[in-house]
Structure 1
Amino acid sequence: MSDLYQFHAHLELQHIFLEAHAERFHYLSTFFEGYYCYRYRLVTRQGKADWTQIFEHGVRSKAASQIADRKQLVREPRLPFAVLTGKLKELVRDDELNLESLQSLLDEHLEYTVLTREEFQKLKAAGLTERMPADYYRPASADYQNTDTRFEAVGIKLLA
Structure 2
Amino acid sequence: MDKIQYWEIELRHIKLELDNNRFQHLRHFVDQYYCYKNGYIKRTGTADWEKIVWGENEAISEGAAKTQDRKLVVKEHIVPLKRITEELKKLVVNSTTEIHHIQECIEKYLFYATISKEEDKKLRNLKLTSKMPDEFDDSSHELFQDIYARYKLAGINLVQTKTS
Compute the TM-score of the two structures, normalised by the length of structure 2: 0.91
Instruction: Flag structure 1 segments of 5+ consecutive residues without an equivalent.
Output: none
Q: Tell me, yes or no, if structure 1 residue 15 matches structure 2 residue 36.
A: no
Q: Distance in 1 between matches of 2:71 and 2:41?
A: 20
The structural deviation recorded for 1:126 is: 1.3
- CA distance in 2 between partners of 1:129 and 1:24 (Å): 23
Q: Distance in 2 between the 1:26 and 1:97 partners?
A: 17
- Specify the SS of the correspondent of 2:141: coil
* Matching residue's letter, 2:67: I
Q: How many pairs were matched up?
A: 157
1:63 equivalenced with 2:63 (yes/no): yes
The structural deviation recorded for 1:97 is 1.5
User: Hey, what's the Cα distance between the residues in 1 that align with 2:128 and 2:13?
Assistant: 27
Give the percent of matched residue pairs that are identical in Structure 1 and Structure 2: 32
Aligned mate of 1:46, from 44, 47, 55: 44
CA separation in 1, counterparts of 2:146 and 2:134? 11
Shift of 1:145: 0.7
Q: CA deviation at 1:7?
A: 1.1
In structure 1, how many angstroms separate the alpha carbons of the residues matched to 2:158 and 2:16? 34
1:24 corresponding residue in structure 2: 22
Q: Which runs of 5+ in 2 are unaligned?
A: none
From the two aligned structures, give the one with the greater helix fraction. 1
Distance (Å, rounded) in 1 between the aligned partners of 2:125 and 2:37: 32
C-alpha distance in 2 between matches for 1:61 and 1:32: 23
Letter in 2 for 1:38: Y
Who is 1:72 aligned against? 72
* One-letter code aligned to 1:42: Y
